């Protein structure tokens, strides 16, 4: 449910829609990529390939397991290619899509979005 909610937030994010176009699709994590899933203590980092009609990139999730509960702390879009934005504006940068400190609970935030 956490990843599904995170992807819903991405698909409804105005900036991501502008950069990638609509609809935004996600793909399976490439487990042969050593950066696709990292573990650091009780934090887990995932790199999910995403694509729209105008661009593609990776959706990065920072998650934490606390008291047996798994939650997303932050998600960011790394753009690899976009028809609507010059490369200088996205190269080596990430667009923050969700941050618990700013947006609160992921599920509540995602449920308040219009698809």
The 10s digit of each residue's pLDDT in 55-98 is: 999 999 999 988 888 899 999 999 999 999 999 999 999 999 99
Q: Is the pLDDT of residue 115 over 60?
A: no
Closest CA to 53 of 27, 79, 21: 21
Distance, in Å, from the CA atom of 61 to the CA atom of 49, rounded to the nearest integer, reads: 11
Q: Is the pLDDT of residue 113 over 90?
A: no
What is this structure's pTM?
A: 0.91
The residue among 109 and 79 whose pLDDT is bigger is: 79
Q: What are the tens digits of pLDDT across the range 28-64? A: 988 888 889 999 999 999 999 999 999 999 999 999 9
Closest CA to 3 of 83, 98, 68: 98
Q: Is the pLDDT of residue 114 over 90?
A: no
Cβ-count burial 7-31 (b if 16+ within 10 Å, e if not): bbbbbbbeebbebbbeebebeeeee
- pLDDT score, position 55: 97
Q: What is the mean pLDDT of residues 13-26?
A: 97
């Amino acid at each position: 449910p956490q990843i599904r909610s995170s992807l819903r937030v991405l698909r409804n994010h105005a900036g991501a829609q502008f950069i990638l176009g609509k609809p935004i699709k996600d793909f399976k994590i490439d487990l042969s990529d050593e950066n696709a899933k990292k573990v650091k203590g009780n934090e887990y980092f995932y790199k999910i390939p995403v694509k729209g009609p105008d661009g593609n990139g990776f959706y990065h999730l920072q998650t934490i397991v606390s008291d047996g509960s798994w939650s997303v702390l932050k998600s960011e879009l790394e753009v690899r290619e976009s028809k609507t934005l010059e490369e200088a504006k996205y190269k080596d940068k990430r667009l923050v899509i969700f941050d618990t400190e700013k947006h609160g609970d992921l599920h509540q935030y995602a449920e308040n979005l219009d698809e």
